[in-house]
Structure 1
Amino acid sequence: MRTLADEIGTAIEVDLAVIPPHQRRAYAGLDQYRRPVEVRGVQELAKGIAESFGAFAIFDVETVLRSPAIAPFVTQTLYAIPLELRRAACDRDRLKAEGARKEMARIISAALLSRYHFEPLKHVGASCHPNWEEAFEQQFGAGRGRGSSG
């Protein structure tokens, strides 16, 4: 049976797998010819990863956050991933690149799960429609601490 940690790790793996090659290289500090350049696009990548958790209530102690509120933490985590690992995710060898992406996903999910508590919202689909607030109220009630993040 899949655990919540498995689901989060898999979501991040998918996010990393579907990044357009130019964006993956920018995050790894490589140009189109795989020469070292300045790292770019970390905030955009972090925002995309954070958005994939739109169907979750994310708790930071007693404060509930929406997915965009965790983007700064995801950004810090992405910067902490070793450059060699990021570059390995761009390797022409598919198995090596896939292994690097899996390791990156493991690092990111471990960091997220050590900092936040995720609760899937029962009435919100993966695309996180506008009824997030309603779904949260139905599942958790108005008694939980709530943050203005969102």
Structure 2
Amino acid sequence: MRTLEEEIESLIAVDLAVLKPHQKRAFAGLDQYRRPVEIRGVPEVAATIANSFGAFAIFDIETVLRHPAITPLVAQALYSIPVELRRAACDRDRLKAERARNEMARIISAVLLQRYHFERLKHVGTSCHDNWNLAFEEQFSSRRGKQGQ
């Protein structure tokens, strides 16, 4: 069984792998002919990665957050990734690109895990429950009350 850290890292790696080619190139600062250009699209990539955490409760000390709240930290982590590594993730050599994506996922997950604590929700995902907020409160409201006492 995988640890939570490995699961988070693999979620991020999958998000990076399934980005559309133009998003990968924009994030890496490459044009359609793989020439260096200005880096674009980091907020969109950050939002994509943050959306994959919809099935997690994210704790910032004692505050419970939902996945859109971590987008700024994900964007900050994305900006901290060296351009060479981003460009390696767009390489035609699939093995080199996969290694670069896995390294980027490791960097991003380390930043997230250093700041936040993640817990998987009992429900499979946010869309499987008609009232997500009620399900969230049922699972985590009693814990918050115990921590404050």
TM-score scaled by length of structure 1 = 0.91
Structure 2, gaps ≥5 residues long:
none
Task: Provide the C-alpha distance between the structure 2 equivalents of 1:121 and 1:13, rounded to a whole number of angstroms.
Answer: 21
Offset at residue 131 of structure 1 (A): 2.9
1:16 lines up with 2:30 in the alignment: no
Greater RCO (CA < 8 Å, at least 6 residues apart): 1
Aligned partner of residue 118 in structure 1, secondary structure: strand
CA contact (8 A) 1:55 1:128 kept: no
Say what the alpha-carbon RMSD is for the aligned residues. Answer: 1.6
Q: What does residue 41 of structure 1 align with?
A: 41
| Number of matched pairs | 145
Which SS does the other structure have where 2:53 is aligned? coil
Q: Are the equivalent residues in 2 in contact too, given 1:57–1:119 (CA < 8 A)?
A: yes
Q: Structure 2 vs 1, CA of residues 129 and 20 (structure 1 numbering), >3 Å: closer, same or farther?
A: farther
Shift of 1:129: 5.2
Task: Please state how far the C-alpha of 1:126 moved relative to its aligned partner.
Answer: 6.4
- What TM-score do you get using the length of structure 2 for normalisation? 0.91
Give, in whole Å, the separation in 1 of the partners of 2:87 and 2:130.
37
Partners of 1:105 and 1:94 lie apart in 2 by 16
Q: Identity of aligned pairs, percent?
A: 74
Name segments (4+ residues, structure 1) moved above 4 Å.
126-130
CA contact (8 A) 2:53 2:67 kept: yes
